[in-house]
Amino acid sequence: MTGTTRRHLNILVAEDDEFTREFMEAMLRQRGHEVVMMRDGRQLLEAVVKAEPRFDLLLVDAQMPHVDGMEATRQLRRTLAGSTLPIVCVSARASGRSEAEGREAGVDAYVTKPCWDEQLFAVIRDVLQARGVLTAEEEI
């Protein structure tokens, strides 16, 4: 018997690719999380400012029209609402340079596509625990 409890998160996803957006929504909902889907960084910024209650986690694509994930993160880190928000960048751009750019912009973690959702959730768990959003006894 484990003493863990399941935690349902309020997650904001910004992803421009339609297929990926549909999949992310299905995957997160299958795991029991509340999801708000956005198509680009501009929508993402508006959603964070308006959000009530606050999001537990942002999953952002690096490459998006209008405002990309990196720039959205940079802007969010300068605001009160976004300065401590857990942000995980999920991107098909795979190079040390992209990852370094993400870190510099302020993302908590950079995950490269393709990955299994278990891998993504292992990273999310570490990020949320480090940010104090999730305790060691809580599962997601």
Partner 1 sequence: MVLRNSSSGGVLLDLNLAKALREPGLVASLCDASQEPLALCYGPEHVLLHANLGLQSLLGQRLAPGRPFKSAAPGLSNGRLHAALDRVFGSGVTEHIELFGGVSLWVAPWPADAGDPSGVVLAAGKAVGGDREQALARREAELARREAELAAREARLGAPAAVSPLETQVLGTVSYELRSALHVLMGYGSLLRRELGAHASTRAGGFLERILGVTGVLGQRVDDLIDLELIGQGSFQLDRKPVAFGQVLEQAAVRVRDRARRKGVQFEVVLPARLPMLLADEGKLGSALDKLLDNAVKFTAAGGLVTLRASAEAEHVACQVGDTGVGIPAGQLLTIFDAFNGAARAGGGLGLGLVLGRAYVEAHGGELCLDSQVGLGTVCSIALPLSPPRSA
First to last CA, the chain: 17
Q: Which two tokens stand for residue 113?
A: 């596509």
Using the minimum distance from each CB to partner 1, give the nearer residue, 85 or 107: 107
Q: Are the C-beta atoms of residues 128 and 134 closer than 8 Å to each other?
A: yes
Using the minimum distance from each CB to partner 1, give the nearer residue, 111 or 133: 111
- Kindly report the backbone phi and psi dihedral angles of residue 23, in degrees, each rounded to the nearest multiple of 5, phi listed first: -65, -45
Q: Which of 86, 140, 87, 94 is nearest to 114 (CA)?
A: 94
Using the minimum distance from each CB to partner 1, give the nearer residue, 17 or 71: 17
**Minimum distance, C-beta of residue 75 to partner 1, in the bound complex (Å):** 24
**Minimum distance, C-beta of residue 124 to partner 1, in the bound complex (Å):** 15
**Minimum distance, C-beta of residue 117 to partner 1, in the bound complex (Å):** 5
**Minimum distance, C-beta of residue 87 to partner 1, in the bound complex (Å):** 19
Using the minimum distance from each CB to partner 1, give the nearer residue, 65 or 135: 65
Residues in touch with partner 1 (CB under 8 A): 17, 19-20, 23-24, 26-27, 30, 63, 92-97, 112-118
